Amino acid sequence: MNKQSGIHYIREHREAGSSRPVPAEVSRIRDTVVAGLGDLLQGAFDAVDDSLFELANNARSNNEQNRYFEAMREIRIKRKGVERHFQDAVAQYFSNPPRSGHSDDAQQAASPSADSLALVGDDDLEEQVALNAMIAKAKAHFQGPLLQLQARFSAVYPDASDESPVNPMSPEHLCHAFTEAIQALEIQIRERLILLKQFDRYVVSNLGMLLDEANRILIQAGVIPNFRYHGKTGQQRSRPEAPDGGSQPPAGAESSQGSQGAHSGDDAIFEQIRHMLSLQRANAGAPSRASDPNFQVIGGAELVALLSALPQQPAATAGENLSAGEPVTVDLHQVVEQLLARSAAAEGKTPALNEMDEDLINLVSMLFEFILDDYNLSAPIQVLISRLQIPILKVVIKDKSFFSRATHPARRLLNSLARAGIGWSDSDEKTRDKLYDQIHTIVQRILNEFDGDLTLFETLGEEFEQYLARENRKASLVEQRTRESERGRIKSQKAQETVDQVLQEKIGRYRLPESIRGILLNGWSRVMFLAYLRDDVEHRWQESVRVVDDLIWCLHPHQEDEERDQWVRVVPGLIKSLRAGLEEVSYNSSKLDEMMGELKHELTQAFRANALAEAQEDAPDTDSTGMPEATPQTAIQREQQLEDAAIAEYVAQIDSIAIGNWVEFNLVNGASFRCKLSAIIDEADCFVFVNRMGLKVIEKSRTELAHEMRRGRLTVLEQGALIDRALDAVVGSLRSKAG
């Protein structure tokens, strides 16, 4: 149950926190950590506010939009209380640190069983899963600093021991404090998950600087100053930093072990790929040259040096157009063989590659085969990326984690380039697009400047992301204005169509005086139009339609006394409603009086004559059996029925297109263009598409889109990370070849 306020919890934390003194160095750490977490949490809440506003902006219904706005309001109102609650809870951990026992009983109690999970609600379970993932990631990422802090804090607190260590800054304690603090928020599970996601992104992911500062303070205080952590074994060791090195680990041991600990999971993926490649070599009967005395194996560093000595591509000079022509696949094996043939080998041996580098070359070749055959990539980007085959080969030889680490700087940059250029329809657009110049410059700098240092990719990636953020903000504003304008225009169009349809249907059934038809078509139609637009707020549409029905009824012949009595009661209110509605839409005042005079005259004549407006409903033709005659289907109607049945399966695919997805339309004349789904206007069954700049390109109904997809003129583009999709395709191909 959500708590209505965090005030009493704050009081509890303050009282508990003041009940026990803490050492001076711990007090200093506490103040630093509480202040730092408060700053990080503010960034998280600001990001939550932005996320909810964006979701509300793209909501597909009023109820959904109201839900996000209500969540924004709830969080804004209680945000300060949640922040204070969180900071006080963290401060309490330093006064009374929870124990982190490692007994089997403790582990068994901490891990949920299948029976206990069955008793947990779906929402609570989903939140717990997100929380556990966040904690596990933080523990793995900050394993070294956390273990050092745990050892040092356990030495500071008198009640701690090796069996029951303490660490007030453990991720599970901080996450627990935050989840307890947000119990005061009355929001649904989706909004709670957004909160946890931003807390992870802005707070938990940035714990490193606070952990390092806490370790530094304790080291200055002389608390286990020579502690060393070895990532591979997961063991803690305290070693004196003797200058003679007698008690230090072997040179490079710590860094190599830490590297293995950090990338062991990543390397496993690459080893699986290597295993499949080795199966291919075994099936092909290819001999290994590593053990052949006639060959000298060239190492990875030597190979990178050989590749760096290649002459620059002709188009890599400043001012040249790198995207001219078609994408070109470089035969990397041939290039490497030529380089090896030119290199001089010692003692007359023939230079050769080891199996690892051969596997890397094979993998890069297959990767670019997919990339250059990927229809989802826009043509200019495809050509530009084709220029990067040699630089990417040098990257993967130096750092094979390119294939398994999604955050690898070169991999992130390639994904960003592909994602940014997805909206280009053809290469002609690049001549007037600043984004193309930016991407072209990045590729040119890689070709000219990359010497094996991966920081170039990091720098270019950061610069490009900052540029994209600025451009996306501009495009988002334009797209928002486009979306709002189209919503208004389409709703107005729908309103006018509905008003015309209702009036034509009602008026067409009766022979009405011209003056009455003029009142309805030229005057009251405006009132109905306005009522339709305001119906979701003021619910006036049905009332405006009822006025039309009442007017037509009053012009009917009425001979029964009850009907005539009702006529007398209805007419005064009817005239009043008509005048008020026409005045509201600013109908011409001079014509209004004349029109109302004619209306009263017609109503009076109808009451006196009892038959001024005769009902002219056409009775349907019937056959001899008294049943309506069935109108035979035309060829066009039969064709339409078959067409509707044929597109049924495509309608479901259209409904799966989400806001923000990119598609490509192919025109009859062979031209094509790409655009993004910006809005789905349900009341008009209208899909609005915009270009990269946020300007409207086309609008179509669900049925029209289904027809386009059936004819092969509409393609939904895949927007997953380029390298991820390429690796999936390569691994799938290798598995199929391996049987």
What's the pLDDT score for residue 341? 73
| φ/ψ (deg, to 5) at 423 | -85, -5
Write b or e for each residue in 437-452: b if 16 or more Cβ atoms lie within 10 A of its Cβ, otherwise e. Answer: ebbbebbbebbeebeb
The DSSP output letter for 211 is H
Each residue of 710-723: b (16+ CB within 10 Å) or e? Answer: beeebbbbebebbb
Is the pLDDT at 308 greater than 60? The verdict is yes
Over residues 412-437, the pLDDT tens digits come to 899 888 888 887 766 445 555 678 88
Q: Taking all residues of the chain, what is their mean pLDDT, rounded to a whole number?
A: 76
Q: What is the pLDDT of residue 293?
A: 61
**Domain 635-737 classified CATH 2.30.30.140?**
yes
pLDDT, mean of residues 45-64: 84
Residue 688 reports pLDDT greater than 70: yes
Which tokens go with 123?
């929402």
- Which residue, 51, 324, 336, is CA-closest to 197? 51
Best CA proximity match to 567, nearest among 578, 556, 580, 577: 556
Average pLDDT over residues 701-729: 86
Q: What does the alpha-carbon distance between residue 74 and residue 701 come to, in Å, rounded to a whole number?
A: 37
pLDDT, residue 172, reads 92
| Strand 295-298 to 350-353 pairing | parallel
Let me know the angle formed at the C-alpha of 331 by 328 and 336, rounded to the nearest 5 degrees: 135
pLDDT at 106 over 50: no
What average pLDDT does the segment 129-152 reach? 87
Lowest mean pLDDT among 415-429, 437-451, 643-657: 415-429
Q: Which two tokens stand for residue 415?
A: 């994904």
In DSSP terms, 688 is beta-bridged to 679, 699
At position 538, the amino acid (one-letter code) is E
User: What pLDDT is attached to residue 82?
Assistant: 93
Please check whether residue 587 is in contact with residue 520, taking contact to mean a CB–CB distance below 8 angstroms.
no
Which of the residue ranges 37-51, 115-129, 220-234, 291-305 has the most confident prediction, judged by mean pLDDT?
A: 37-51
**pLDDT at residue 177 tops 90:** yes
Q: pLDDT, tens digit, for every residue of 502-529?
A: 888 888 887 788 888 888 888 888 888 8
Predicted local confidence at residue 65, as pLDDT: 85
What is the helix (H) or strand (E) element at residue 679, kind and residue range? Answer: strand 672-681
| Contact call for residues 210 and 146 (beta carbons, < 8 A) | no
Residue 75, phi-psi category: left (phi > 0), alpha (psi -120 to 50), beta (remainder): alpha
